Copies of this chain bind each other. A is one copy, B any other.
Amino acid sequence: MDLRDVQRELPKYEYDINQVGIRNAKLPVNVLTKDGKKIPSVATFNLYVSLDKDQRGTHMSRFLQMIQNSIDVTVINHEFIKSLLMEVTERIGGNSFAKIDFPYFIEKTTPVTGLRNIIPTDVTFKGSLINGEFTFAFKVKHTVMSLCPCSKEISRYNAHNQRAIVTVSITPKDPYKIIWFEDIINIIESCSSGPVFSILKRTDEKFVTEFSYDNPMFCEDIVRCIAHEIDQKYKGQYKKVTIESEHLESIHPHNAYARLKLVGE
């Protein structure tokens, strides 16, 4: 059967398109942890190419085919993204762009009883291959506890505290040098009023309650502390870092929010 390929024709209006492709494709994956384990997850893929002004359409079915082939043989990491982008650019042409979101899980032990905890976090990997040059970035969105320094200071007792969602996005200078998001999560937790736990026995809950009161943090404090720690640990290794902290204020129906950007020299 000879089916006409309208995608290959000239478009009516000749504009370059920055990105065209597929969005919100879900697939089961395994993700590699820092200590070499594979953990199950479900990834949501966006995959695009650039399209020149002289071609009407891209070939959408190939995107899913390439993603699907890849996930059978490997785990999701920056090498996976690079080889996916190289295949996209080779088979479809143009620059290529990938964004992959997935829930991830870290382990920790409770502060007093030492019970094992499995804590969810959200990770995003972003990659691009532009004129043959590969860039890679990742984002960690992690939940911590925040306790308000102002509320503590002005009140005779207690202080309002709440969940804070901290997001750190890093574009490393060298896309091939791994920055583990486990390490970024450690920094986030150390710059908060305390980590959250899934299991806390009563002696742990006492510890966590008092610990948070001893470590009050504004959203401003959290983003500055993370900026400082990242500067200490990764100086010279990043192109760009964006740090956000959004607090689900227990005393308000709206959120408090801060954002701080670091630019590498």
Contact = CB atoms under 8 A, between A and B. Distances in A.
Contacts of A65: 115, 199
Given A20-B257, A218-B57, A206 B3 contact: yes
B255 A23 contact: yes
Given A39-B28, A158-B158, A249-B163, A259 B19 contact: yes
Interface in A222-265: 223-225, 227-228, 246, 248-261
Contacts of A157: 157-158, 210, 213
A22 B24 CA distance: 26
Given A28-B40, A205-B150, A22 B68 contact: no
B206 A154 contact: yes
A103 interface: yes
A156 interface: yes
A156 B153 CA distance: 17
Nearest to A258: B20
A167 interface: no
Interface in A1-45: 1, 3-7, 11-30, 39-42
A51 interface: yes
Contacts of A22: 254-257
Contacts of A39: 28
Copies in the complex: 4
A24 B188 CA distance: 22
Contact of A213 (B18, B154, B158, B261): B158
Contacts of A95: none
Interface string A122-164: 0000000000000000000001011101110111111111110
A203 B156 CA distance: 12
